[in-house]
Amino acid sequence: MNLKGIHHVSSLTANAEKNLDFYTRILGLRLVKKTVNQDNTAYYHLFYGDEEGKPGTELTFFEIPNLAEKHPGTNSISSISLRVKNDEALVYWQKRFEALGVDHHQITERFGNAILPFIDLEGHQMRLISDQQNKGEPGGKAWTGGGIPEQYGIIGLGPVQLTVRYMEPTEQVLTEVMGFSKIGTYQTDEYPIREIHVFETGEGGTGTQIHVEQRKDLPEERQGRGSVHHVAFRVDTEEALRKSIEEIEREGFKTSGFVDRFYFRSLYFTEPNGILYEVATDGPGFDLDENKDHLGQHLSLPTFLEHQRSEIEAKLKPLPTPKQP
């Protein structure tokens, strides 16, 4: 498989309005698409990203009201990263988190890169990661409409960390099926000290990496608010996606088959430790139905749901949209 890196990460929230406030006002991300969960149109699906909503910058949330608190554990996507340009930006964010009361730790280092761990309002485990030492897949262009100076803004998704019960089958799928290369390991400075295995694909770098830790001592995660639902990986074209479907099914995996998400095309499958993967095309993109200057300003529906707009809007709780410059 010819994967380019991480396409997007999708997580769970119990409150779309509070989620929108945190990710646009606190983190300064751009709301690039306000739409609905295509599998349950009664609830929102929010997409945040860089200035253009480029693949590799998109963090998305499915709203499930009254969703229970998650129970962290193994066989999960245990944390995600957001990229900033350099170490100086982490200092800016540390001060900002202190001023705004965001739960965070001190700046530390992981695999040669400075990071700033933090937690969102629903317990989502996250890290800001500096690209100062990064080489490989470039980041996007930081959105300044959220009030964050351009030199400090978030420019994309960084490494996604998996916690699994059994390392070997996850590593085998990443390297032998999906085309990742193992590039090293590192140890955490936490207790207990743990070894993390690092894999990357495409041009390499923080926007293409999966970090995997084995934890046989933990119960299996029970998903809830603040859980990561799945991670998606980039392919250029629909043709490449269809080849990926053939390759994955040839390896004996049951897949969703080809899925049209309107803004991109996808396939889904579950790796041996139960973590959901998606492979998604770079296009058509979020400007398919909105001008790039006005992304996320209105409720967007794919053409195959447009005929249900009145019914869908009647079920949704109104969601204030951030004003854009």
pLDDT in tens, 233-265: 999 999 999 999 999 999 999 999 999 999 999
The pLDDT score that the predictor gives to residue 3 is 98
Is the pLDDT reported for residue 34 higher than 70? yes
Domain boundaries, given as residue ranges, for the chain: 6-294
Average pLDDT over residues 270-289: 97
Query: Which of the four pLDDT bands, split at 50, 70 and 90, describes residue 325?
Result: low
Compute the mean pLDDT over every residue in the chain, rounded to the nearest whole number. Answer: 96
How large is the average pLDDT for residues 270-298? 96
Average pLDDT of the residues in 77-92: 98
**CATH fourth-level superfamily of 6-294:** 2,3-Dihydroxybiphenyl 1,2-Dioxygenase, domain 1 (3.10.180.10)
Map the chain to HEC letters: CCCCCEEEEEEEECCHHHHHHHHHHHCCCEEEEEEEECCEEEEEEEEEECCCCCCCCEEEEEECCCCCECECCECEEEEEEEEECCHHHHHHHHHHHHHHCCCECCCEEECCEEEEEEECCCCCEEEEEECCCCCCCCCCCCCCCCCCCHHHCCCEECCEEEEECCHHHHHHHHHHHCCCEEEEEEECCCCCCCEEEEEECCCCCHHHEEEEEECCCCCECECCECCEEEEEEEECCHHHHHHHHHHHHHCCCCECCCEECCCEEEEEEECCCCCEEEEEEEEECHHHCCCHHHCCCCECCCCCCHHHHHHHHHHCCCCCCCCCC
Question: For residue 122, which of 79, 70, 160 has the smallest C-alpha distance?
Answer: 70
Out of 124-138, 183-197, 224-238, 306-320, least confident range: 183-197
pLDDT tens for 133-146 read 999 999 999 999 99
Banded pLDDT at 98 (limits 50, 70, 90): very high
- DSSP-derived pairing of the beta strands 30-37 and 40-49: antiparallel
- In this predicted structure, what is the pLDDT of residue 193? 84
pLDDT at res. 95: 98
Model-level pTM? 0.97
pLDDT at 124 over 80: yes
d(CA 88, CA 151): 9
- Cβ neighbors of 258 (< 8 A, separation 6 or more) are 241, 242, 245, 265, 266, 267
Give, in degrees to the nearest 5, the angle at Cα 230 between 133 and 251: 100
70-75 average pLDDT score: 97
What is the per-residue pLDDT for 324? 66
Q: d(Cα 261, Cα 60) in Å, to the nearest integer?
A: 14
Report whether pLDDT(36) > 90: yes
pLDDT digits (tens, 9 = 90+) for 188-226: 887 778 899 999 999 999 999 999 999 999 999 999 999
Query: In whole angstroms, what is the distance from residue 308 CA to residue 306 CA?
Result: 5
| Percent share of the chain, pLDDT over 70 | 99
Percent of the chain with pLDDT over 90: 96
